[in-house]
Amino acid sequence: MQDIHELTIICGIDKSGAKEDVEKIRICPGEIIGIVGPTGSGKSSLICDIEQLSQGDTPTRRKILINGKAPGRDIRTDPRKKRIAQLSQNMHFLADMTVEEFLRMHAKSRNRNSDTVEQVIDIANTLTGESIQPGHQLTILSGGQSRALMAADIAVISDSPIVLIDEIENAGIKKQEALKLLAAEGKIVLVVTHDPVLALMTKRRIVMRNGGVRQVITTSTGEMNVCSELVKLDNYMMSLRDTIRQGGLVEQAVVV
Amino acid sequence: MKLVVVAGTPGSGKTSVLMHTIRSLKQAGMSPAVVKIDCLWTDDDKRFERLDIPVRIGLSRDMCPDHFAIYNTDEMLTWAREQDAGVLINETAGLCLRCAPYPDGCLAVCVIDVTTGPNTPLKVGPLLTTADVVVATKGDIVSQAEREVFRERVNEANPGCRIIEANGLSGQGASELAEVISETPDVGQELNLRHNAPLAICTLCTGETRVAKKHHMGVLRHIDGFTEYRGE
Ligand SMILES: Nc1nc2c(ncn2[C@@H]2O[C@H](COP(=O)(O)OP(=O)(O)OP(=O)(O)O)[C@@H](O)[C@H]2O)c(=O)[nH]1
Ligand SMILES: Nc1ncnc2c1ncn2[C@@H]1O[C@H](COP(=O)(O)OP(=O)(O)OP(=O)(O)O)[C@@H](O)[C@H]1O
Ligand SMILES: [Mg+2]
Ligand SMILES: [Mg+2]
Ligand SMILES: [Zn+2]
Ligand SMILES: [Zn+2]
């Protein structure tokens, strides 16, 4: 199987049908790219274009190239050959199966060994509060549990050189851990986010408006410094959140 | 004339996907015509008419819509030829999961909704197992993992088919379907069904309305699977 050394987004049109402000975005392995913009500005659509390896056949008219070329049909459609994992914005499973049955089927569809199943559940349980059991029905999992399972599934079963993440922060799971888990070294990672910490943890960020790419900003040294301050603040917030979740009191907490 | 038969459960997204597909076909210079077969009511004709193509509907009323579609295929083809169409697309109602309305020589397309869950491909029978193309819709509502599990199940039920992931809202997958249609050869003279229509020899078929089994004759299958013949 060929190595991926470049992902290229050839931009198309925005919601008004006008050309996007950026023509082309090239991304190399090891890069984490953020996607930011107001709600409804087309962030998820951009992620979906990449997942489908669109060839001008979606409303955005974007084309996605791998190593500078349009990928062939089998790479676009066969999950065994597809090298892209996507954590979409969906918060729930609809499949009427147990967690174990589902993960087994998914491992099969991705040509993975079924002993990965246990590993996925273990990892998911490090991200979520109440633990997920192999015998649970998928449909009874909470939003946060589903999200944690989806993330762990991507890290293990769908382990791919290109990873697309749509809003990891809003499910109440440990977002920094989840990002670390998904953004393993040497991967191309795109993260849609409304969260300043996650946005500044990326190397570059794509700014969206009205369905189109407006600009690509490289994170400056100044922003990186802001980011490390924010991480401290965020960790503090998380620890307060944990205490409150466990039924503890936070009267002693200092307001920073 | 090419014949495309599009079947799938109600609301699975047949019309939505076809609207985008027909636009692609027209752009490629082909002239499609559509016949929609339904049981009691449909407004699909109004939707298709917006595309400025010849459209016709047929209502099967108290008959199996698939049976109705099958023995009216000749008439539909004649009508489409009169409209100077190059492709006849027949959207069926697909209510009866025992029937598959696909003749040989047509492009058989089964449209199936991913949100109905990964066990659905095992339930829909010949509608799916004898199709050339399986179009999986509404993938936008589920996770990537669920789409892939669904796809695996379709593969198990119909190993040779081509699976197209489509979105009836955005039009994803429609150009791929249009491409497959344009590569389909013309239909021949003698059409034969791919899959036998089911037995229709019980007394209910001929108008008996009393429920109890003692009033019924012909081939009767008990709930435990035992099948008997009652009659002369
Ligand atoms: N989210 C989502 N909705 C879809 C998709 N495809 C179709 N729909 C919606 O599903 C509903 C039914 O779609 P139709 O195209 O009318 O389905 P159909 O199979 O032609 O229905 P009948 O002809 O009545 O059997 C509509 O409300 C569509 O907007 C899809 O890919 N995603
Ligand atoms: N270039 C485009 N052309 C036409 N429609 C578009 C385009 N980009 C996005 N859309 C449409 O705009 C709507 C909102 O887009 P999308 O869901 O991607 O927004 P989002 O930025 O992810 O929003 P949120 O922050 O709420 O998740 C969708 O219906 C999408 O199909
Ligand atoms: Mg979104
Ligand atoms: Mg319809
Ligand atoms: Zn029937
Ligand atoms: Zn009968």
CB B57 within 8 A of CB B42: yes
Higher pLDDT, A44 or B222: A44
**Chain position carrying tokens 């229709």:** B200
Instruction: Look at residue B88 in the predicted model and tell me its pLDDT.
Output: 98
Q: Which two tokens stand for residue B105?
A: 């020589």
- pLDDT > 70: percent of chain B: 98
Residue B101 has pLDDT above 70, yes or no: yes
Q: Which two tokens stand for residue B123?
A: 């339930």
Instruction: Look at residue A22 in the predicted model and tell me its pLDDT.
Output: 97
With cut-offs at 50, 70 and 90, classify the pLDDT of residue B51.
very high
Residue A200 has pLDDT above 70, yes or no: yes
Helices B144-157, A99-109: inter-axial angle, 10-degree rounding: 70
Chain A positions touching B179 (Cβ under 8 A) are none
What domains appear along chain B, each with residue ranges and CATH number? 2-182 (3.40.50.300), 199-232 (no CATH)
Question: Which of the residues A87, A101, A106, A160 would you substitute to probe the B interface, choosing the one with the greatest number of B C-beta atoms within 10 Å?
Answer: A106
pLDDT per position as a tens digit, B181-212: 999 999 988 888 888 876 666 777 777 888 88
pLDDT per position as a tens digit, B52-84: 999 999 998 877 888 888 889 999 999 999 999
Closest atom, ligand 2, to C-alpha of A20 = 1
- Interchain proximity A94–B142, CB inside 8 Å: yes
Gap from A213 CA to chain B (nearest CA, Å): 19
**C-alpha distance from residue A131 to each of A87, A121, A135, A146 (Å):** 20, 9, 12, 11
- Interchain proximity A105–B117, CB inside 8 Å: no
pLDDT per position as a tens digit, A211-226: 999 999 999 999 999 9
Pocket test for ligand 1, best of B16, B38, B114, B167 (most atoms within 8 A of CB): B16
Query: If you take atom 18 of ligand 2, which residue's CA is the nearest one?
Result: A42
Residue B149 has pLDDT above 90, yes or no: yes
Please check whether residue A143 touches B, CB under 8 A. Answer: no
Please check whether residue B180 touches A, CB under 8 A. Answer: no
Residue B126 has pLDDT above 50, yes or no: yes
Q: State the Cα–Cα distance between residues A127 and A239, nearest whole angstrom.
A: 14
Average pLDDT across chain A, whole number: 92
Q: Which 3 state secondary structure label does DSSP give B57?
A: strand
DSSP calls for chain A = -PPP--EEEE--B-TTSPBPS--EEEE-TT-EEEEE-STTSSHHHHHHHHHHT-BS-STT--EEEETTBPPPHHHHH-TTT--EEEE-S-------SBHHHHHHHHHHHTT--TTHHHHHHHHHHHHSSSPP-TTSBGGGS-HHHHHHHHHHHHHHTS--SEEEEE--GGGSS-HHHHHHHHS-TT-EEEEE-S-HHHHHHSSEEEEEETTEEEEEEEPPHHHHHHHHHHHHHHHHHHHHHHHHHTT---TTPPP-
Q: Which two tokens stand for residue B30?
A: 């082909």
- Residues contacting residue B193 through CB under 8 Å, at least 6 positions apart: B70, B100, B102, B103, B104
- Interchain proximity B172–A58, CB inside 8 Å: yes
**Chain position carrying tokens 């004649």:** B78
A106 → closest Cβ in B119, B149, B171: B149
What ipTM describes this predicted complex? Answer: 0.88
Instruction: Look at residue A99 in the predicted model and tell me its pLDDT.
Output: 97
Cα diameter, chain A: 60
Residue A1 has pLDDT above 50, yes or no: no
Gap from B181 CA to chain A (nearest CA, Å): 16
**Which residue type is seen at A92?**
H
- Interchain proximity B146–A105, CB inside 8 Å: no
- Sign of the dihedral defined by the CA atoms of residues A104, A110, A114, A117, in that order: negative
The stretches of chain B forming alpha helices (DSSP H) are: 14-27, 44-49, 65-71, 73-82, 120-123, 126-129, 144-157, 174-182
